A and B are shown apart, each in its own frame.
Chain A
Amino acid sequence: MSGFDNLNSGFYQTSYSIDEQSQQSYDYGGSGGPYSKQYAGCDYSQQGRFVPPDMMQPQQTYTGQIYQPTQAYPPTTPQPFYGDSFEEEPPLLEELGINFDHIWQKTLTVLHPLRAADGSIMNETDLAGPVVFCLAFGATLLLAGKIQFGYVYGISAIGCLGMFCLLNLMSMTGVSFGCVASVLGYCLLPMILLSSFAVVFSLQGMVGILLTATIIGWCSFSASKIFISALAMDGQQLLVAYPCALLYGVFALISVF
């Protein structure tokens, strides 16, 4: 009897797998029914307890498998992006908005009074050409012994502002200030020829007056041609050309006297 009690306590203290084997042995022996029943209950609990580790293991392995690729993705993704952006970077001139072909075409359109103005190129407002021409005009005046950079800038600004107001008041469609400044700046190119002549010759005689009038007409005709094509002002080219002639007349006045 005491031996049986010791055996029972040993069964409880030990792990459940041992209990299973002992149960099998009892079945083989065919000992008491109630003992076998108790052990059967223990078997169920043992099975229930063994299931969690089995279920836990695949979950952990799945999470591991999922996490490893995510670990790999972060360090690799930025490098291809940087490489792609660097390779597909647009040219520096394109970023700065300077298109030399368009500048050249605009210059030719200005220099050739009878050439038809291309609306798409003319409507593009770039101020690189005008700034260069303004500086060239001031430089040629400097060669003639006149330091008039301030007046050239001031008259340019006032002239562009005045033309901007006038064209907006006269035309049904509006016009941007950049477009006006661009067109007037490009048409300043023949004026640089006049100031270059003024460096070598004196333009205060009759020949000088005729040359000045011709170049002013050239500048204003080109500018009015571009404005007419851009603003669709029919039958008003003379009305647009006259204020342009006034503006270039002021520049001519600075060149001649």
Chain B
Amino acid sequence: MAYHSAYGVHGSKHRTRAAPDPPPLFDDTSGGYSSQLGGYPAPGADVAFSVNNLLGDPVANMAMAYGTSIASQGKDIVHKELHRFVSVNKLKYFFAVDTAYVAKKLGLLVFPYTHQNWKMQYSHDVPLPPRKDLNAPDLYIPTMAFITYVLLAGMALGIQQRFSPEVLGLCASTALVWVFMEVLALLLGLYLATVRSELSTFHLLAYSGYKYVGMILSVLTGLLFGSDGYYVALAWTSSALMYFIVRSLRTAASGPDSMGGPAPRQRLQLYLTLGAAAFQPLIIYWLTFHLVR
């Protein structure tokens, strides 16, 4: 019986070995292969995607932030520099003109003798803009007159067969230097005379620029009627301009509080104003005589 049971045990051994072994081996190997196949490319793809995202987003964000900061810094620097040198609002005040003001102002420059009220009007201690006050100075007419003078000089020299594009630059530079010197001289005179007034550099620039209107009229008359017409126009525009500048500068120099200031200072102001006005015809003649022959 023991031998029989031993044989039975051996038979059961063989059967049990055959029965459970193949399935786990097959499953294990297939699972391992699938895991490997799935593992190798999937992590690689994930890594690639993450690398792409990392490279794209941070670099783009960094570039945008850097560009934005540079642009804002540039804007700030330009704004500071601009405000340090020139106040745009002040310039806008001098360019706040309309057609009616320009027409009336040009008429005043040509014939100023009938104008009665030369005081600048104020609204709550702030001067009114040119479009609302005929006596307020502007920079539109001087600028346009300056460029028109340069253009007219080119045309006159062209008629005399002496035109070249360099001539335009030369005329513009010469006239610009004269304007610069005149404004500096006026500033120096005001400083020496210790005149406290509402006049700023832009005011002086405007008043010294109005003579270009006279220059234009003189040159045009000279081109049309010859040298005699030129001298007649020169005399007329010079006297009109002198009258205009004396009245304007005198009223502007006195300012809102006209009662202030002792007599000697007022006399000094008058001499300064007369000197500035007398200097205008010399500049007009110097800048225009060579254009008319």
Contacts and interface: CB of A to CB of B under 8 A. Distances in A.
Nearest to B147: A246
A228 to B, nearest CB: 12
Contacts of B28: 53, 56
Contacts of B188: none
B9 A246 contact: no
A64 B34 contact: yes
Interface residues of B, number: 48
B97 A239 contact: yes
Interface in A164-178: 166, 169-170
B7 to A, nearest CB: 13
B31 A56 contact: yes
- Among B2, B88, B163, B165, find the residue whose CB has the most chain A CB atoms closer than 10 A: B165
A170 B99 contact: no
Residue among B8, B17, B91, B155 having the largest count of chain A Cβ atoms under 10 Å: B155
A113 interface: no
Given A64-B38, A67-B39, A250-B154, A22 B12 contact: yes
B2 A3 contact: yes
B165 A60 contact: no
B38 A151 contact: no
Nearest to B49: A74
Interface stretch (A10-18, A37-45, A183-191): A10-18
Nearest to B152: A249
B24 interface: yes
Interface in B65-117: 88, 91-92, 95-100, 102
A61 B34 contact: yes
Contact of A257 (B8, B91, B99, B163): B163
B42 interface: yes
Nearest to A235: B98
A119 to B, nearest CB: 22
Given A14-B13, A18-B13, A243 B42 contact: no
Contacts of A170: 95-97, 140
B151 A70 contact: no
Given A10-B9, A257-B158, A236 B163 contact: no
A253 B168 contact: yes
A209 to B, nearest CB: 9
Contacts of A61: 30-31, 34
5 contacts: A3-B2, A15-B17, A57-B31, A67-B41, A243-B147
The 4 closest A-B pairs by CB, nearest first: A67-B38, A60-B31, A64-B34, A257-B158
